[in-house]
Amino acid sequence: MAIELDTLEQRIIGALIEKKLTTPDQYPLTLQALVAACNQKSNRDPKMDVEAYEVEGAIRALMDRGWVSRVERFGSRAMRYGHEAGSQLGVDKADLAILQELLCRGPQAPGALKTRCNRMHPFESADEIEGRLADMSVRPVPYVVELERQPRERHARWQHMLGRHEQSLGVATDHEAAPKVEADPMPAGVPAHAPTPQPAAPYSPPAPEREPEAAPERAPAASDDDLALRVESLERQVEELVERLDRLEGR
């Protein structure tokens, strides 16, 4: 039986996995903290802007299906929430880190996943991640699928299979289809097969022949994976600076 998490449910599960692995002292999350995690600008694609009541409704649906549990912390009035993805899927911490990235960042290649997953779980190589992806793709209910490699991509990307996606990759939506161009009607009395008369071009003497110039060498264009990793590195540096400023202000 296929797993059907909608877009917001996917983001909630991914955010809970991330916070448990990266900030365990703040986990489980309150409703407001979970809303902020869903709307987070870094490490998210696509960006979201959801309200508390939307997240609360999705939490209830996830609790009914056993994906989220409610946790009461001693001395705290606010209700907190944790994920049950590990028990639902039967995977370990390493697989959860990979699935978190696919849930919150969309399809990615093993090399990009290695760099981004290291903050949650260290992997020795991209081959290790690819092996885990391959194992999850051949389960009775596959959790991931390898996508066909696109132009300019060095390695194929992988996509999770835990629910529907906003748009199927490689398939144009209705608003992306090429617009239809209607031909101008033929003037009255002109047969449909008659060629359209063209004005005579003014005579100009032929230009003297020139030897072709060698095309300048161009530097190879950076691949999408390289650009994504550079952006990821900059995002991490910004997050570290923000955390340092928060600690300084706290002192």
Q: What is the pLDDT of residue 193?
A: 46
Q: What is the pLDDT of residue 181?
A: 37
Q: What are phi and psi of 71, to 5 degrees?
A: -125, 130
Q: What is the pLDDT of residue 76?
A: 74
Q: What are phi and psi of 57, to 5 degrees?
A: -65, -40
Q: What is the pLDDT of residue 183?
A: 40
**Amino acid of residue 194:** A
Q: Write out the H or E segment, with its range, that includes residue 130.
A: helix 126-137
Q: What are phi and psi of 45, to 5 degrees?
A: -160, 115
Distance of CA 199 to the CA centre of its chain: 54
Spatial distance between the Cα atoms of 36 and 135, rounded to a whole number of angstroms = 33
Mean pLDDT per 10-residue segment, the chain (251 residues):
94 98 96 98 96 98 98 83 98 98 98 97 97 98 96 94 69 35 44 49 55 53 61 69 60 48
Ordered domains of the chain (ranges, CATH):
7-168 (1.10.10.10)
C-alpha pair distances (Å), 165 with each of 101, 104, 105, 148? 15, 12, 12, 16
Q: What is the pLDDT of residue 211?
A: 55
Question: Are the C-beta atoms of 106 and 159 separated by less than 8 Å?
Answer: yes
Q: What is the pLDDT of residue 189?
A: 47
Q: What is the pLDDT of residue 173?
A: 32
37 token code pair:
């995690």
Q: What is the pLDDT of residue 204?
A: 56
Q: What is the pLDDT of residue 4?
A: 95
Spatial distance between the Cα atoms of 17 and 119, rounded to a whole number of angstroms = 12
Question: Are the C-beta atoms of 38 and 52 separated by less than 8 Å?
Answer: no
